[in-house]
Amino acid sequence: MIEAAPAKVNLALHLRRRRDDGYHDLETLFAFTDFGDTLRVVYEEGLSLAVDGPFTAAVGDGDNLVLRAARALALAGGCPAHAALTLDKHIPVAAGLGGGSADAAAALRLLNRFWRLDWPLERLAEVAVPLGADVPACVFSRTLAGAGRGDELAPLDLGLAGTPILLVNPRVAVPTGPVFAGWDGIDRGPLDPAGWRTARNDLASPAITLAPVIAAVLDALAATGATFVRMSGSGATCLALYADAADCSAAERALADRHAQWWTVATTLR
């Protein structure tokens, strides 16, 4: 059995408040792409995870979120945790694309079928909450408005399915915690989903402080004829939307010529 783990982007992310539990209250718009990792499973006694794909080396050999998700589901569902999982890793790590969260969410959906629990996504999203702030959104992998830590979710249709999107990462890993910690604490106001095109990513400024190359990525994308350019999540990946697929692939080629070391993917929004 196989399950896709779509990469997540944040079209907007407004920080509202530092909380006492180490997290931040935020308002965000999650969207998902047709690009991502894939997770496969076959039956074997016990629980195991193998990793292959271009970002294998970036996946630590610690307790992967996929295994934590599998154990959490087995516990919640009262089923023995027997599964040999293989993760095909294409999403860069610590990149603002929710890679680890997408993998954990894919594990919940995959094992939900494999272990014949057949729970609705809403119930899987409850299991996902302790696994990380973005994991419940990744369970749904559809456009959502997120509030609280990012796990209070409301579905939303921005009419963006099929929109060409270019993802660009300067191959600098940016850890999430320090970017949030660098926020100046100023609440710049709520996020109106209808006005997402003019909304902000309040993590861009602290991310650029930690990784100045992000500003160069945003400038480069702004010069490609994109209809919309933002940093995703806590960075360093930036995204650009285009009116058509030809514009998107032309932009990818232009960037590859000038910044051969940058990682790029041209795909579409789901």
State in angstroms the smallest separation of the CB of 23 from ligand C5P.
4
State in angstroms the smallest separation of the CB of 69 from ligand C5P.
13
- Is residue 6 at the binding interface for ligand C5P, with CB under 6 A as the rule? no
Nearer to ligand C5P, 179 or 218 (CB): 179
3-state DSSP assignment of residue 113: helix
Asked if 63 is an active-site residue, the reply is no
Task: Provide the token pair at 168.
Answer: 């660009």
Task: Provide the token pair at 264.
Answer: 């790029």
Number of residues that bind ligand C5P (CB under 6 A): 12
> How many CB atoms sit inside 10 A of residue 140's CB?
19
State in angstroms the smallest separation of the CB of 24 from ligand C5P.
4
Nearer to ligand C5P, 10 or 143 (CB): 10
β-sheet bridge partners, residue 230:
239
- Is there a contact between 96 and 170 (Cβ–Cβ < 8 Å)? no
Task: Provide the token pair at 81.
Answer: 């945790």
Of 37, 88, 103, 134, the active-site residue reads 134
Burial of 261 from C-beta contacts in 10 A (0-12 / 13-18 / 19+): exposed
Give the angle 106-153-242 at the CA atoms, nearest 5°: 75
Q: How far apart are CA 21 and CA 137, in angstroms?
A: 20
- Angle at which helices 121-128 and 99-114 cross, to 10°: 130
Task: Provide the token pair at 58.
Answer: 């970036």
- Is there a contact between 134 and 98 (Cβ–Cβ < 8 Å)? yes
Q: How far apart are CA 62 and CA 251, in angstroms?
A: 37
23-42 binders of ligand C5P (CB under 6 A): 23-24, 26
- Is residue 134 at the binding interface for ligand C5P, with CB under 6 A as the rule? yes
Q: Kindly write out the interface string for residues 152-191 of this chain, putting x where it contacts ligand C5P by CB under 6 A and - elsewhere.
A: ------------------------xx--x-----------
Q: Kindly write out the interface string for residues 89-118 of this chain, putting x where it contacts ligand C5P by CB under 6 A and - elsewhere.
A: ------------------------------
How long a stretch of residues is the chain?
A: 270
- Is there a contact between 18 and 185 (Cβ–Cβ < 8 Å)? yes
Nearest to 190, CA basis, from 200, 180, 182: 200
Binding part of the chain for ligand C5P, among 34-42, 126-134, 192-200, 236-244 by CB under 6 A, reads 126-134
226-255 binders of ligand C5P (CB under 6 A): none
Nearer to ligand C5P, 14 or 251 (CB): 14
State in angstroms the smallest separation of the CB of 242 from ligand C5P.
29
Of 8, 37, 88, 151, the active-site residue reads 8
State in angstroms the smallest separation of the CB of 26 from ligand C5P.
5
Among 92, 132, 170, 206, binds ligand C5P (CB under 6 A): 132
Asked if 134 is an active-site residue, the reply is yes
Report, as residue numbers or ranges, the catalytic residues: 8, 134
- Interface with ligand C5P by CB under 6 A: which residues? 22-24, 26, 132-134, 149-150, 176-177, 180
